[in-house]
Chains A and B, each alone.
Chain A
Amino acid sequence: MRQLQEQKASKEQNNNNASNNHSLVTMLHQIQETYNYLPENVLRELAKEKNIPLVDLYRVATFYSLFSLTPKGKHKILTCTGTACHVRGSEKVTEEISRVLGIQPGETTEDGEYSLEAVNCLGACALAPLVVVDEQYHANMTPAQIGALFNGVRKSTCQDKESSHCHCSSVAVGSKEKS
């Protein structure tokens, strides 16, 4: 079933690409948005469609750290380790997130829900230390706040263990925003 969906999605992707002559990076971005990573078979199809040498795709995909060749979690968590964030204690924040989720930066949780990335700078140094959950910016984070942010997540994960579709993090992120 999932394969069928993927095939359908990739066809749509290719049709979109055929109509708009995007640059290579933009095309890879679209694929990454659809699949959460760059699957090999989709890259092969793209190369055939666009008449681009396969290695060129691989070169660009490996050059930018934003592209991933392995599946990423449904929810992306970015912690900033830039100078301003570092000075204001982002290291402790990252450690706390690692502890809560049980993964190191660059890894994905086993259930495929979360992936944690430590990035160099998000360009919002006034909000340091900064944590971005699914493109929602959380400013002035402290390790204590991380606990509150992910507490709801873990609880709802436990409750939703039966159902395969877990949307617990969106709940958690939403609750954080309100506070």
Chain B
Amino acid sequence: MQYRRKQDIHMSAVAINPLNRAVRFYEAPIGKKAVMAVTGVMLVGYVIGHLLGNLQIYSSDPQQINRYAAFLHNPSNALALWGVRLILLAAVVLHIVSSVQLWQQNREARPLRYYKKADVPTSYAARTMLWSGPIVAAFVIFHVLHLTTGSILPLHDIGPNMPDVRYNVVSGFQNYWVSGFYIFAMILLCMHLYHGLWSMFQSVGISHPRYTSKLKKGAAIVAILIAIGNCSIPIAVMAGLVTY
């Protein structure tokens, strides 16, 4: 006789449809905000990792950053590289799509504007998230075209899968327009993170009178440090401190 799986007859058995749950989750603004928080963590994690990689340009060994680039581009790492790229792309798409949907809903929630409206505690950074976001996104596209695909300035290679990062960065940042746009975008990124780095905790429900004020300060410090680190590279190139 064949063994038949026992039916669950416990009182606590309930129909749990994961698809229903996911739909209900994303339908809710709180769910969309949680999506923005989680994708935000992923993106800011990448930003910090990317910055740490970039800071190798200050190494006393001028070839250090090129060795790091060759390591990343090594064909044996291709799977990991493309895996990370796809995950980041998915995070960017989810972050943007949910923010646009929330923005649309929020705009419709107040069809008639106030004649006079004050912003009591809202920081400039929080008020301009919808401006800093798209500009940083445009910058990311510019940055990829500039230093990954070489569509803006021709890129040098040392060998196959070995980009000459040092040359490409220095020659790019010697152009004041390019450097200016990088610095501008990094300041906006700093503002975006100034609000977003704290906000993501609130969105997933982490708030405590003992820790929230420290969390806000910590978020501001991290945002400023990221901006200083990133802006230092074009400034150092233009000042002639980093050369090819």
Tell me if chain B binds chain A.
no
B interface vs A, CB < 8 Å? none
A interface vs B, CB < 8 Å? none
